[in-house]
């Protein structure tokens, strides 16, 4: 496991730790509740972890996005300590507005295998790429509630000043457990890379820095693996530019996102091989 993943684990554990100063209405993201079908590319799942893992957790809730009928984009961190002999097959849920409730619009997909970038894919800094692709055993069926998302072209990244982060995770790092069962979203601003580099010096060239200098707006525990997206008004479609790698719900107010615009060729190659 790369040094960056270890650093992200430390931050994740910190964000997951309970606080004695819980305020019932404290909302980390200053976010909004999503409407049904607003983000049809979203999935969520729970990883069952090995005993005595560095996270100190039995389970890890995560997000992801639908790239194709059988390819799900998420974070390597979500799968780093999955129990290899878990008696409960890992399932993904798509088409859900509520994380904890069955819905007529939902679809389930069982995990078939997991792919990670290797040295041949990214010779420089490949071990720092926080990306995983889940290949489902059976394809999802696309409809108004379940849809794939496009990846933003790398050349268009320079035009992005603000983006949207989406997830089912905690509303604050002060929460004792995940209480946000309704899908939420909020806007975050792009920040200079050197700001995140000061907090995460091991980041390398494959990460984006987004956040809010005044509030802990953005991703929190339970959102890891989910998307950073922008809406293309010309195409009337959401496009993904990042994967939630580090969380911005602590005192740093900085969110670290895997730069997905640099991963398109790799993801396409895996999708074609299925």
Gap between the Cα atoms of 222 and 167, Å rounded: 8
- Read off the pLDDT band of 121 (50, 70, 90): low
Is the per-residue pLDDT at 156 higher than 80?
yes
Cα separations (Å) of 32 from 41, 42, 165, 168, 187?
Answer: 17, 16, 11, 11, 10
pLDDT band at 126 (very low <50, low <70, confident <90, very high): low
In order of their start, the domains of the chain are 40-148+263-273 (2.40.10.10), 150-261 (2.40.10.10)
Tens digits of per-residue pLDDT, 67-113? 999 999 999 988 877 776 665 678 899 999 988 888 899 999 999 99
Q: Which residues, at least 6 apart from 180, have a Cβ–Cβ distance to it below 8 Å?
A: 99, 168, 169, 170, 171, 222
- pLDDT (0 to 100) of residue 270: 95
168-201 pLDDT, tens digit per residue, is 877 655 554 545 578 999 888 998 877 777 777 7
What Å distances lie between residue 57 and 16, 61, 74, CA to CA? 9, 10, 19
User: Left if phi > 0, otherwise alpha if psi is -120 to 50, otherwise beta: which for 222?
Assistant: left
- pLDDT tens column, 129-147: 889 999 999 999 999 999 9
């Amino acid at each position: 496991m790369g040094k960056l993943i270890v650093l992200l684990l430390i931050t994740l554990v910190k964000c997951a730790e309970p606080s004695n100063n819980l305020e019932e209405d404290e909302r980390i993201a200053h976010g909004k509740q999503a409407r049904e079908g607003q983000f049809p590319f979203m999935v969520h799942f729970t990883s069952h972890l090995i005993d005595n893992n560095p996270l100190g957790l039995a389970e890890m809730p995560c997000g992801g996005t639908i790239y194709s009928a059988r390819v799900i984009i998420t974070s390597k961190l979500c799968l780093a300590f999955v129990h290899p002999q878990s008696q409960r097959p890992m399932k993904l849920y798509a088409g859900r507005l509520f994380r904890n409730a069955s819905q007529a619009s939902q679809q389930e997909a069982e995990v078939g295998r997991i792919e990670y970038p290797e040295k041949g894919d990214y010779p420089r800094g490949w071990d720092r790429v926080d990306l995983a692709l889940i290949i489902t055993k059976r394809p999802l069926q696309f409809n108004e509630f379940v849809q794939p998302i496009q990846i933003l072209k790398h050349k268009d990244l320079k035009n992005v000043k603000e983006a949207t982060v989406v997830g089912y995770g905690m509303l604050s790092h002060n929460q004792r457990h995940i209480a946000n069962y309704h899908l939420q979203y909020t806007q975050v601003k792009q920040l200079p890379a050197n700001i995140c580099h000061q907090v995460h010096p091991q980041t390398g060239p494959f990460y984006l820095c987004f956040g809010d200098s005044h509030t802990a707006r953005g991703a929190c525990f339970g959102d890891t693996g989910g998307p950073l997206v922008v809406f293309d008004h010309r195409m009337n479609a959401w496009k993904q530019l990042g994967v939630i790698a580090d969380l911005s719900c602590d005192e740093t107010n900085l969110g670290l996102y895997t730069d997905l615009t640099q991963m398109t060729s790799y993801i396409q190659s895996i999708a074609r091989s299925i």
